[in-house]
Amino acid sequence: MIPVTKPFLPNREKLDKYIDGIYEREWLTNNGPLVQELTKRLEEYLGVENLLLVSNGTLALQIAYRALGIHESKSAKVAEAITTPFTFVATASSLKWEGIEPIFADIDPETWCLNPQGIEQKITEQTVAIVPVHVYGNACDVEAIEALARRQNLKVIYDAAHAFGVKYKGESILRWGDAATLSFHATKVFHSIEGGAIVFKHREDMERAKRLMSFGMTGPETISDVGINAKMNEFQAAMGLCVLDEIDENIKARERHWYRYQNELTSSAILQRLNNVSDYNFAYFPVLFRSKEELLHVSSGLADKGIIARRYFYPSLNELEIFGADLTLPISSGIAERILCLPIYAGLDANDVNSIIDIVKRLTSTYKEMQ
């Protein structure tokens, strides 16, 4: 079987040395030395400041909302944040969990990221923030979004779960917005088994977040905020340090597969238009088919050969009952029902990539003949 993704497992001997150190120190959590080391090394690698490690990517979003105060409405009504329906559910559910109503705007039909023009149409007196997503690691139109946010006095929190290492005009994409969050889940390009990070524009926001993620405590007997526990532990940091040592080789391996797919499948499916002033980390290889029926034909044919592709993201979140399911967003809904992510990970064999390409080409060809 070929899975859609596979966690990158770094050198075992190096990981064992880190774990030996944990056992010697008996310091397992609460900002241990490995968490401190990983923080410093990630800031250097990514080219950012004010990076805060947390226990997972969903809590990264929730802590960012709280630290920036967007859970507080401008009026007596519930606070609202405009976001995309074409994303993993945590983007919207984290808002809902914090008492913020996610308001969905439609996406660009080619980049699949939040359309800045659609954002402006959704702004009301309750709007406190914009939460765009760099979909599949493809950079949003950050300049248009930031200009809009400044005009409307809104906070911007980027869900950059897929955008580890991505640069926009030569600088980290994580520098945009009041905050940007990362997921270090096991399936991501960079991971710490579970984990995540927040990059803040302003240091004072990071300092507030530090308190919030540790029960709101400022000392052994001092509590200044209503907080939560979102701390990364030393074992997560050990894995992160090992993965970081091999991150460039990991991305290069994915890059080879990505370009092989791109070169061979441009006539068989529709591909995402990437931001032309941004680079890419080859996190995913999504393909868009011309109909839901064609997608199901290809997906079923791949599964018959033991190849697992994923309908990621499906369904479009505006169609879910938990978010109201009363909003028509034709671009997101149309793309969500026709999208399929093909297998891509560092350990994927080149021959398997060729087999996947051949099967997709054959299945799309036979589907056309049936029409």
Q: Domain limits of the chain? A: 12-245, 247-370
* 283 DSSP 8-state letter: -
* pLDDT value, residue 179: 98
* pLDDT value, residue 226: 87
Whether the Cβ atoms of residue 228 and residue 212 lie closer than 8 Å to each other? yes
**Does domain 12-245 bear CATH number 3.30.565.10?**
no
Whether the Cβ atoms of residue 285 and residue 291 lie closer than 8 Å to each other? no
CATH superfamily of 247-370: Aspartate Aminotransferase, domain 1 (3.90.1150.10)
The model's pLDDT over 220-266, given as tens digits with 9 standing for 90+, comes to 878 888 889 999 999 999 999 999 999 999 999 999 999 999 999 99
The model's pLDDT over 38-64, given as tens digits with 9 standing for 90+, comes to 999 999 999 999 999 999 999 999 999
Active site residues: 188
* pLDDT value, residue 217: 84
* pLDDT value, residue 165: 98
Whether the Cβ atoms of residue 162 and residue 134 lie closer than 8 Å to each other? yes
What does R_g of the chain's alpha carbons equal in angstroms? Answer: 21
What span, in angstroms and rounded, lies between the C-alpha atoms of 58 and 161?
Answer: 9
What span, in angstroms and rounded, lies between the C-alpha atoms of 331 and 112?
Answer: 9
Q: Is 307 helix (H, G, I), strand (E, B) or coil?
A: strand
Count of CA atoms in the C-beta half-sphere (13 A) of 144: 12
Q: Which pLDDT tens digits describe the chain residue by residue (371 residues)?
A: 999 999 999 999 999 999 999 999 999 999 999 999 999 999 999 999 999 999 999 999 999 999 999 987 767 789 999 999 999 999 999 999 999 999 999 999 999 999 999 999 999 999 999 999 999 999 999 999 999 999 999 999 999 999 999 999 999 999 999 999 999 999 999 999 999 999 999 999 999 999 999 998 888 878 888 889 999 999 999 999 999 999 999 999 999 999 999 999 999 999 999 999 999 999 999 999 999 999 999 999 999 999 999 999 999 999 999 998 778 999 999 999 999 999 999 999 999 999 999 999 999 999 888 87
Comparing C-alpha atoms, which of 30, 141, 130, 150 is closest to residue 83? 130
Whether the Cβ atoms of residue 56 and residue 194 lie closer than 8 Å to each other? yes
* pLDDT value, residue 15: 98
* pLDDT value, residue 225: 84
* pLDDT value, residue 83: 98
Comparing C-alpha atoms, which of 306, 294, 308, 309 is closest to residue 362? 294
Whether the Cβ atoms of residue 192 and residue 232 lie closer than 8 Å to each other? yes
Host H or E run for residue 178: none
